[in-house]
Amino acid sequence: MVLADFFQWLQTPGLTHFLLISGILFSLGVFAILTRRNAIMVLMGIELVLNAANINFLAFSRFTTGTLDGHVFAIFVIILAAAEAAIALAIILNIFQNFNSVNIDEINQLKD
């Protein structure tokens, strides 16, 4: 009977499911930010954290208020993430031109 209740819980997605997925994404993003030395991998970790925030905005908007406030915030976060990715990739390409590396540990100077 316990197994049947578990499968029933899995089949009806609620706020808990979305928060669980968001927490996993957030944890993976923070792990990628803290452990990677490659700047592109750090950016991917930041994107995971922002996507976890989007899932939280949309889930709370859907299950608590029922308004579009969470959707508006999620759109702003997506716009922010796109701008951040474009600027950060331009900076990383410039760093690669100057230092021939994108490892964060090897880049310790602002000026050659």
> In this structure, what token pair is assigned to residue 107?
């880049």
How much is the pTM?
0.79
Per-residue pLDDT tens over the stretch 37-63: 888 888 899 999 999 999 998 888 888
Cα→Cα distances 28→52, 58, 73, 94, 95, Å: 10, 20, 22, 28, 26
Report the CATH architecture of 15-106: Orthogonal Bundle (1.10)
- pLDDT of 28 reads 96
The gap from C-alpha 74 to its chain's centroid, in whole angstroms, comes to 12
Per-residue pLDDT tens over the stretch 61-106: 888 877 788 888 889 998 988 998 899 889 888 888 888 888 877 7
